[in-house]
Amino acid sequence: MEKTYFALVLFFVGLCLGSFVNAAVWRIKHKKDLLIARSECTHCHYKLEWYDLIPVLSWVFLRGKCRKCHKPISPQYPLVELSVAAFFVCSLAFWPISLDSVNHLLQFGIWLMAGVALAILFVYDLRWLILPDRVVFPLIGLGAASAILVGLDVRNPGYFVFNLLGSIAILSGFYFLLYIISKGKWVGFGDIKLGLGLALLLCNWQLAILAFFLANLIGTLVFAPALSTGKIKRTAHIPFGPFLIAGFVIAGLFGHDIIDWYMALTYSGIMINTP
């Protein structure tokens, strides 16, 4: 009962923060203040009133059109709002550690805040192929805070340091290497910084490998059809941030289950093959 109530609260907070994500994407693009700038119609610059800013509902009641000029409002708005709300509820439902201490609650809170930052980066990279520092640096800050909380909680400090450095090497170091080798042609420096933030948040080398693997898998599945039919060229600039973010979220919430499942599968395979 308590958890259902908490989920409901998180759903509504997620909707509101999803609305903030949309506003933030637009404000960063137009170099406005993140928190105090007023939202406006991108066509006629009509300043939106509070009743135009109710997540999802305003868009539905206005049938996806501006109240003043009736030009279409992108479905990106309700989609992002619902996605952040869904991310919040799923995070609560599948959070891998118990929320039984202040430290664990803080880790969960940081994860949700990181989710908001990642939603901004996801949309921004998809639209403009850039991961803005104004969001990536706070994300790295959140990651550092999360890693400190994990560090305060561990019994084996040596393994914690190994986990932390391993994560960074996999999710950030590898891209840094590719960046050096290709002189910045294969990956952008933004991916290296994003990878650092994600590595700090995961703070686990196994989850880092999984996130890296999933990012490449999802990227390949999405782009392979277009590449094979020649719809996009191999040299085309493809945003990699969204795939890295998707891989990270799956690894963060389901990673331990996926690794256990994979280990069980491998182990049972060995058992069957052993005469």
Query: From the CB of 167, what's the least distance to Zn ion, in Å?
Result: 45
Site for Zn ion (CB under 5 A): which residue of 10, 66, 135, 164? 66
199 vs 218: CA distance, rounded Å = 19
Closer CB to Zn ion, 3 or 38, in the complex? 38
265 is a site residue for Zn ion (CB under 5 A): no
Q: Are 118 and 139 in contact (CB under 8 A)?
A: yes
Query: From the CB of 259, what's the least distance to Zn ion, in Å?
Result: 49
From 55, 52, 106, select the one nearest 78 (Cα to Cα).
55
178 vs 160: CA distance, rounded Å = 26
Closer CB to Zn ion, 30 or 237, in the complex? 30
Closer CB to Zn ion, 71 or 185, in the complex? 71
Closer CB to Zn ion, 3 or 43, in the complex? 43
69 is a site residue for Zn ion (CB under 5 A): yes
Q: Are 139 and 197 in contact (CB under 8 A)?
A: yes
Total residue count of the chain as it appears in this document: 275
Q: In the beta sheet, which residues pair with residue 47?
A: 40
Closer CB to Zn ion, 48 or 113, in the complex? 48
73 is a site residue for Zn ion (CB under 5 A): no
58 vs 38: CA distance, rounded Å = 16
Closer CB to Zn ion, 25 or 200, in the complex? 25
Which residues in 26-65 contact Zn ion (CB under 5 A)?
41, 43-44, 46
Q: Are 196 and 171 in contact (CB under 8 A)?
A: yes
Query: From the CB of 57, what's the least distance to Zn ion, in Å?
Result: 18
What residues contact 37, with CB distance under 8 A and at least 6 apart? 23, 27
Query: From the CB of 28, what's the least distance to Zn ion, in Å?
Result: 21
Query: From the CB of 48, what's the least distance to Zn ion, in Å?
Result: 9
Structure-block tokens of residue 241: 């941030």
Which residues form the interface with Zn ion (CB under 5 A)? 41, 43-44, 46, 66, 68-69
